[in-house]
Amino acid sequence: MPLAATIFIKTIFSFFATVAFGKLFKCPESCLYKAGFVGMVGFGVYIVLLSGFGLSSMLSNFAGTVALSICSEIFARWYRQPVPIFSIPGIIPLVPGLPLYRAMNYTMLNAYSMGMHTFVSAALDATAIAMGILLVSGLAKVYKTSKKMVRDKRKGKR
């Protein structure tokens, strides 16, 4: 199968997977497909950077998380919902489940160095995701406070 087709299929299925997770987390019906879209954006950016451009897994995870967090912040303001409604199902496709499984499998097969290698890279992926969440939620806070400050200043002038 050509690379583009694989990426396309994976991205489409990440939408369905996120919707299924939204159902599992009892996401409100009206937000289900929006949450699915958020998940698809995050995973799409990740897989395109990883497979398409050949960037490192850590960097692609970071970029994917930033994309989906920004998307969920925008949606949260747009549809007047709390941010977790979109970001919690949306982050799930990026969780490094496969590397963690591989790390455990290597350790079970007594290949400790290989297991540690995989485990550390999975942990770094998780750190990259954490950094992405941190960055965007920090920026959102700055935006919120600055908007409030501007509003207060205008009130003071009047």
Q: Which residues bind other proteins (CB under 8 A)?
A: 6, 9-10, 13-14, 16-17, 20-28, 31, 43, 80-82, 84-85, 87-89, 91-93, 95, 97-98, 100-102, 104-105, 107-109, 126, 129-130, 133-134, 137-138, 141
Nearest approach, Cβ of 124 to other proteins (angstroms)? Answer: 14
In a 13 Å sphere around the CA of 120, the CA atoms on its Cβ side amount to 5
61: buried, middle or exposed (CB in 10 Å: 19+, 13-18, 0-12)? buried
- In terms of CB distance, is 1 or 157 closer to other proteins? 1
- Determine the Cα–Cα distance for residues 59 and 48; give it in Å rounded to an integer: 12
The least distance separating other proteins from the CB of residue 33, rounded to whole angstroms, comes to 14
Helix and strand totals (H; E) in the chain: 6, 0
* CB 103 to other proteins: min, Å: 9
5 or 157, CB closer to other proteins? 5
| Longest pairwise C-alpha distance within the chain | 73
Distances (CA, A) of 87 to 13, 17, 28, 68, 128: 18, 14, 13, 7, 16
Nearer to other proteins, 23 or 117 (CB): 23
Q: Which amino acid is at 124?
A: L
| Minimum distance from residue 120 beta carbon to other proteins (Å) | 15
Select 60 or 87, whichever has its Cβ closest to other proteins.
87
